[in-house]
Amino acid sequence: MTLHTLNASPGSAAFTDCLRMIAAGDVLLLLGDGVYAALAGTGARAQLDACGARLCVLREDATAAGVLERVAGTELIDIDGFVALSEQFPRQLAWY
């Protein structure tokens, strides 16, 4: 069980590398430029939906990017939620 954080856009190597390492039961939290991967209807989003991980988006970053209304179907969490997630998981891996 791993908490993955992705802070890179869908065109990045980090996005591709991260997707390959995610396993069912993991959580993927999108933050920074990673929030663009949650855009509904995109190929990147379809890949994330198929990866088997619970998909979360950092609300503050999605708001800043103007994508808050376009990430339906993901779980929006705030910074406190991020802290809570990091407490629940035995390990965390940052992709950037």
Partner 1 sequence: MAARKRLLLLIRHSPYGSSLARASLDVALAAAAFDQPLSLLFTGDGVLQLLPGQDSEALGVRNPGRLLASLPLYDIEQVYVDAEAAARYQLDLGAAPVTALALERQQIRELIESHEHLLGF
- Measured CA to CA, the distance from residue 74 to residue 44 in angstroms comes to 13
Min dist CB 96 to partner 1, Å, is: 7
Task: Specify which residues 27 forms β-bridges with.
Answer: 3, 54
- Retrieve residue 7's tokens: 């802070």
- Cα–Cα distance between 65 and 89 in angstroms, integer? 27
50 binds partner 1 (CB under 8 A): no
Out of 9, 10, 21, 75, point to the residue binding partner 1 (CB under 8 A): 21
We find the least distance from the C-beta atom of residue 28 to partner 1, in angstroms, to be 14
Q: Which residues make up the interface to partner 1 (CB under 8 A)?
A: 1-2, 13-14, 16-17, 20-21, 23, 90-96
